A and B are shown apart, each in its own frame.
Chain A
């Protein structure tokens, strides 16, 4: 089964700072990639997804992610965070042809006003 690694589980930054969260997966075949966000007390919501095509994908709320196949990575970025971006962020991977969706352990991001 595939596995997903997220580093820097706790991130604290100030408003207007840039954010980058790393995601690496272990699976040799074609994959579908996702970033989900969970605001305090809420369920998971999709930020962005990659199935195929342009490896740079744009999602909601100014987030983007880049798929680098050679590095098995799908890193999330936002140039300028806001206090409302305080949340937990999860990277998820499912192999093509098998929709078993595996999650990383998440990144807890706190944005200080």
Chain B
């Protein structure tokens, strides 16, 4: 099915462990984003990517790593999870159409991560 999917939907991990959140989109959108959503902070940008092999830091990148070897995938890795990274993580993609026409961002269902 076309769309943007995140996996897993729920994850519990221990402090210090590495964990990877997956994001896959089927539209071939150029741009992809990772946000975290926390009460009182709204959505904060962690990393974004303008194309395969092009990534850039957002507002809160510390403790996270991303890669984008293929246009459709944009995994987010927590190298050594901390309790402060307990959050809901949303992946999004955005297209760049013909004649510089923008589209809106489309969001995945989210991953609820708990670090214990």
Contacts and interface: CB of A to CB of B under 8 A. Distances in A.
B35 interface: yes
Interface residues of A, number: 23
B68 to A, nearest CB: 14
B59 interface: yes
B102 A32 contact: yes
B48 interface: yes
Interface stretch (B14-22, B37-45, B72-80): B37-45
B43 A99 contact: no
Contact of B107 (A6, A43, A49, A51): A43
B102 A43 contact: no
Contacts of A43: 90, 107-110
Contacts of A102: 45, 59
A56 interface: no
B104 to A, nearest CB: 5
Interface stretch (A61-69, A70-78, A103-111): A103-111
A25 interface: no
B50 interface: yes
Given A1-B59, A32-B102, A103 B108 contact: no
A51 B110 contact: no
Contacts of A100: 45, 48, 56, 58
B108 A46 contact: no
A44 B44 CA distance: 14
A51 B59 CA distance: 24
A44 B45 contact: no
Contacts of A51: 101-102
Given A32-B102, A46-B104, A99 B96 contact: yes
Interface string B43-62: 11100101000001011000
A42 to B, nearest CB: 8
Considering the complex of A and B, which 8 residue pairs feature the smallest CB-CB distances, nearest first?
A105-B42, A103-B43, A44-B107, A43-B107, A106-B42, A99-B31, A46-B104, A43-B109
Given A44-B90, A45-B107, A103-B45, 8 more contacts: A34-B104, A42-B109, A92-B105, A99-B102, A101-B94, A103-B42, A103-B44, A105-B40
